[in-house]
Amino acid sequence: MSFLTKIGQVPTDEQIFNSNNDDLANEDAGKTTSCRIENVSRRSFLKVSGLASSSLVIGVQLASVQTVSAAKSGSSDFAPDVFISMDKRGTVTIICHRSEMGQGIRSSLPMLVADEMECDWQRVIVEQGLGDAKYGSQNTDGSRSVRRFYTRLKEAGATARTMLQTAAAQVWKVKPTQVEIYNHQAKLKSSSKTLDFSQLVEIAATLPVPDKKTLKLKKESEHRYVGKDTMPNIDGEAIVSGKAIYGFDVELEQMKYAVIARPPVLFGKVKSFDATEALKVPGVVKIVEMPTLTPPAVFKMLGGIAVIAENTWAALQARDKLKITWDHGDNANYNTKKYEQEFVKALKNPPHTARSRGNWEDAKTAADKIISRNYYVAGIAHATMEPPAATARISKDGVDVWTCTQTPQSAQSTAMGVMKIPKEKASSVKINVTLLGGGFGRKSKPDYIAEAVFLANETKMPIKVQWTREDEIKHGYYHSPSYQELSASFDKEQRSTGWYHGMVNHPIGSTFNPAAKEAGAAELGQTDMPFDIPNIKITNGESETSLRIGWVRSVTNINNVFAVSSFADELAVESNKDPKDYLLSLIGKDQFIDLAKDKAKYSNYGESNEQYPIDTSRLKNVINVVAKDANWGKKLPKGHGIGIAAHRSFCSYVATVVEVSSREGKIQIEKVYYAVDAGKVINPDRVRSQMEGAAIFSTSLAYYGEITADKGIVDQSNFHDYELARIGQVPVIEVNIIKNDHPPAGVGEPGVPPFAPALCNAIYNATGKRYRRLPLKQYGIV
């Protein structure tokens, strides 16, 4: 049972974040997983897939240990998760089970298979997997796609290569060791004989899968695709030429278009409405009242009135003509500015201690000096370039959905919930995943899919629900505002003896259970603070929540790291020390940090502490590397400043240096430097693009990101009042990727947390003015 359905329990933000919707997709989170590989070339799959019986099909089952045990006991059932198939022509098709939103996952994951298999990349086709629990987690969130599937997919490719090697050995009547596989061919050693994969596929299709223990995975030096800068983005040409299909691009025969007037206040409802004028708009087909939303919000429909029309324009015009009287409900009392005072009160005596080392109170009493600062980061929206969109069609065979989703399985279970389809009939609900025009966590929340399925069922027509920019800004899942108080104690020798960090926000858990009040996701940037200080106390306050709160790219690392890294820079200034050197001294000796010793609960982004320890040597290394790249310590032009920050998140280590200039009271970012240690890197080009994107994303947040509400209604509505960074504000961005043999780690999110503090530290260095509140637009400097 999902933790979200257990009566009386309040899920923590850590549970929600680390489940990454796997619980919501009816998976058993936390089970030990294993990889099972099988040759399914002779199975019934071929009959339904259209592949010839002579095709080679490798199925990879990312199954629980219990399932594998059942298979070993003789079960004939095998539901492969990731297929590698090769037809008579030697064309290799690889199914990608994760969602593509510009991060290059449809290139990177298949690349792992193709490299190990020794495919000619020009003869590889990548197909998008449907939403299906058989794939294991499909949730493209939490920067975990590569780190979760790196070894498994390499083993799948090596399995296919070994079978082709064995097939060639049979043809030539030699031992498999006499055969070399390279670039879609088998080569007989000490000979000029070759066989193309197309000549081996029929024999390979009859062979048993080799024991995993016998597989020989490639060494890094043997890779032809993995880790190379020359690999193209498989979707790049389609994206830039306008051929790519996004959620908004889906068109079906007889499809109608829907827009919805949603309650302005969360949990508000329709008192009454008059659709007379709306129905007069040419092209309007129908007006439908949506189900009223009741707590918890989860991923349910928000309610309101839907307009169904022959085209989007008619739907929008008719929506404007609806006359709706709303009952705003209790959340109409919420005002962001006023509630900030409640945040301050929440940290007067915070009830939750997230981490404790030594005795902070004693350190404070004995201190020669105490430095205290407060920080505030505003709430933010996802603001994806493509707002949510979903198309649904109901037929006698089931439900078909086409959508831009990060969580195909959660989308499937949500559609099943709307239609009251039992779990055993999940295969009747097909989620077709389009490309995503940005995700950032918004498209892992399938409320818009529920709306499309509901309306398609109500109207008995294919329906495309389209959210406008205004819909998304006013009715999103927001990153909570956060208030933080930090203090540090020093002895007479100016050594740091204690660290205190109190934090309060609206927890993500409130979206799933209104009883959730404790500030959420403390372990992301607060609890995991890496400084080697003898006395540490980390606390969290409580708050009520009146908006839907959700995870945004890098989650609470955004606000926590802004406070921690800004405060570290302030301590360096107070100590009259170089900020980079002082940062390194705070981190201290090389060690693996064991947060359990400090009574801290830490899920480590869902990974084991043994495989992914908090390694201070790697954190210090990226700091030293980025400082060298930025020529730290150089004499800067007048009016220029430089700042540094570093953080470990999603099991990766990232350090950032930002150089700014100040002219006539305005700040310009001149240059950005990143050093990133993400372990083994599959696709360097995409790593660089993710860091570049993180810098631009973070510039927007630091400069402009602010969601406010009055009387429960969000004030912002579009890019005129929820601004993003413009191209003229984007500087040169240099990215240094650290090469090593550590396990692969996250890339999509770790570039965000250190950026804003590095920026504000640079502004202080340039101007002598310290900014402890974001966004910076409130000061008139951007």
User: CATH assignment of 247-330+388-466, given 3.20.10.10, 3.30.365.10, 3.10.200.10, 3.30.465.10?
Assistant: 3.30.365.10
pLDDT at 143 over 90: no
pLDDT in tens, 286-310: 999 999 999 999 999 999 999 999 9
85 or 539: which leads in pLDDT: 539
Helix (H, G, I), strand (E, B) or coil at 185: strand
Average pLDDT over residues 89-118: 91
pLDDT for 38: 63
Alpha-carbon distance of 518 to 508, in angstroms, equals 10
pLDDT for 658: 98
pLDDT at 29 over 70: no
Topology alike, domains 32-240 and 247-330+388-466: yes
pLDDT for 37: 65
Alpha-carbon distance of 2 to 299, in angstroms, equals 14
DSSP 223-234: -SSTT-TTPPPT
pLDDT in tens, 596-612: 999 999 999 999 999 99
DSSP 280-328: TSTTEEEEEEPPPP-S--TT-----EEEEESSHHHHHHHHHH-EEEEE-
Q: Where are the domains of the chain?
A: 32-240, 247-330+388-466, 336-381+477-779
579-587 vs 616-629: helix axis angle to the nearest 10?
170
pLDDT at 22 over 50: no
Average pLDDT over residues 731-749: 96
pLDDT for 47: 44
Alpha-carbon distance of 229 to 224, in angstroms, equals 10
Q: Which region among 17-26, 136-145, 545-554 has the lowest average model confidence (pLDDT)?
A: 17-26
With CA atoms as reference, report the closest residue to 656 among 561, 588, 567, 746.
561
CA geometry: angle at 725 spanning 722 and 729, to 5°?
150
Q: Which two tokens stand for residue 185?
A: 């061919």
pLDDT at 44 over 90: no
CB atoms within 10 A of CB 267: 23
Q: Which two tokens stand for residue 234?
A: 């498989």
Computed over every residue of the chain, the mean pLDDT equals 90
Average pLDDT over residues 630-636: 97
- Which amino acid would we find at residue 507? P
Please identify, in words, the CATH class of the domain defined by 32-240.
alpha beta
Cis peptide preceding 296, ω within 30 of 0:
yes
Please identify, in words, the CATH class of the domain defined by 336-381+477-779.
alpha beta
With CA atoms as reference, report the closest residue to 666 among 706, 696, 719, 703.
703
pLDDT in tens, 329-381: 999 999 999 999 999 999 999 999 999 999 999 999 999 999 999 999 999 99
Give the global pTM: 0.91
pLDDT in tens, 194-215: 999 999 999 998 898 899 899 9
pLDDT for 61: 55
pLDDT in tens, 379-429: 999 999 999 999 999 999 999 999 999 999 999 999 999 999 999 999 999
Average pLDDT over residues 659-664: 97
DSSP 676-689: EE-SS-S-HHHHHH
